[in-house]
Structure 1
Amino acid sequence: MPIYRHLLGPMDNNTYLIVDEVTGEAALVDPSFDSEQLLPEIEQLGYSLRYILNTHAHLDHVVGNAFFAAWTGAPIALHKDDLGLLHAVPEQAKAFQVEVEPSPEPEILLEDGQELPLGELSIKVLHTPGHAPGHVTFLVEDAALVGDCLFQGSIGRVDLPGGSAEQLMASLHNRLLTLPDETRVLPGHGEPTTIGAEKRHNPFLRSSGHVEHER
């Protein structure tokens, strides 16, 4: 099961493509700025986009929703607690002095524990709030696509609207750190890591400090 990582846009976002090689079904996770360049590759390889998955609705993780929904017809999937952020995408864009097309409404409202079939694969949803109220993690086989709640050597920021340090630490310790140590961690920014490596080396998981977080 390949998961392709694409580093895109001015905020150095990771946009992921999960592919079931048996059926050619694919899921696009967090289409960021400049992600439209991935469409020719997806079409050339013969993949069928079944889902547009959002870990959360901050601008840089959903800005490509409208493009891919229009061109592929794939449904957008987002947790209901982030609908407010999704509706505020134009206002988020103004803060960066850019104009973007508003995201279509999600056709799939994600819930904790939900499983999304992708060919012969299954993508499990974990609600991991803290960085955003409706932040989720997608689990597929040995990988966790964690959005902006966990990074290599750091954790997500909590000073944005809807952020909560208490919720984030609960999500990290009660949800993510209970995964097997060998679980691959695929973050929204930065390099991949593993659960075991972050348990051993991430200073934010060994203390209560919340300074110098990532995006």
Structure 2
Amino acid sequence: MDIKSFAVGVYLANCYIITDDQKKETVVIDPGGDGELLSKEITGSLKYILLTHGHADHTGAVAYLKDKFNAPVYMNEKDYKMIECGTFMYGDIAKKVDKFIDDHDSFKIGNKIIKCIYTPGHTPGGMSFLVDNIIFTGDTLFLSSIGRTDFDGGDYDAIINSIKQKLMVLPDETIVCPGHGPKSSIGSERINNPFL
């Protein structure tokens, strides 16, 4: 499995391109901008576009990639309204969502299973994605920090509960790939994150 990370868009949101080496299938998580750049980095057949949440800095290149590769877009339904509201800035993204996902859903990329974990708090429909020992947390958990909850739909108690009940139960060696900034690990966050 090959994982590439790109800080894209005005707010430098992390976009992850995951490719299964054997079957040459690719998943893109949070294409927040720079669609042309991202499209050049997609080497396998684009099987899914996954959104951790509906904020525009994580969805800015969805329409571009969907149109170019005809790949289905998955997100949690509770964030769909954000996508609709962002249409005037980022193109007609709302019509691009193909499937709503929720806690315990899963799907395959090559021989790997992607597990969906519902992690609300930063937004009502926040999702994290677990592949082997790597968790893609969007704006729920960062290196020594957590996602903001002062935006519309944010909920501090919910994000703390999501992190403690859904993420901190993972093994210490689980790698955290956040929506902004550098990687971390569950073990490091358990010890060093002042919000926990």
> TM-score normalized by structure 2?
0.96
Q: Choose from 25, 48, 53 the match for 1:56.
A: 53
Residue deviations 1:127-146 (CA, integer Å, cap 9, x gap): 00000011000000010000
Give distance in 1, aligned partners of 2:185 and 2:51: 21
Partner of 2:151: 160
Q: Residue type matched to 1:5 in 2?
A: S
Pairing 1:101–2:91 present: yes
SS across alignment from 1:132: coil
What does 1:174-193 align with in structure 2 at a 5 Å threshold?
A: 174-193=165-184
RMSD over equivalenced CA pairs, Å: 1.1
Q: Residue type matched to 2:8 in 1?
A: L
User: Where in structure 2 are there 5+ consecutive unaligned residues?
Assistant: none
Pairing 1:18–2:18 present: yes
Residue deviations 1:3-46 (CA, integer Å, cap 9, x gap): 1111222211110011111100000000012132121232xx3x
Give distance in 2, aligned partners of 1:28 and 1:90: 20
Pairing 1:145–2:153 present: no
Contact 1:53 1:77 in 2 (8 A): yes
Give distance in 1, aligned partners of 2:5 and 2:126: 20
Partner of 2:29: 29
SS across alignment from 1:22: coil
SS across alignment from 2:90: coil
Give me the identity figure in percent.
37
SS across alignment from 2:97: coil
Give distance in 2, aligned partners of 1:40 and 1:17: 11
Contact 1:150 1:187 in 2 (8 A): yes
Contact 2:63 2:96 in 1 (8 A): no
Residue deviations 1:40-86 (CA, integer Å, cap 9, x gap): 232xx3x1000000000000001111001100000000011111111
Please report how far the alpha carbon of residue 105 of structure 1 lies from its aligned counterpart in structure 2 after TM superposition.
Answer: 3.5
Give distance in 2, aligned partners of 1:41 and 1:16: 10
Contact 2:10 2:57 in 1 (8 A): no
Give distance in 1, aligned partners of 2:65 and 2:195: 36
Give distance in 2, aligned partners of 1:41 and 1:137: 23
How many residues are treated as equivalent by the alignment?
Answer: 195
Please report how far the alpha carbon of residue 90 of structure 1 lies from its aligned counterpart in structure 2 after TM superposition.
Answer: 3.1
Structure 1 runs (4+) deviating above 4 angstroms are: none
What does 1:59-70 align with in structure 2 at a 5 Å threshold?
A: 59-70=56-67
Give distance in 2, aligned partners of 1:100 and 1:84: 14
Give distance in 1, aligned partners of 2:56 and 2:90: 9
User: Where in structure 1 are there 5+ consecutive unaligned residues?
Assistant: 92-98, 206-215
Contact 2:66 2:96 in 1 (8 A): no
Partner of 2:72: 75
SS across alignment from 2:104: coil
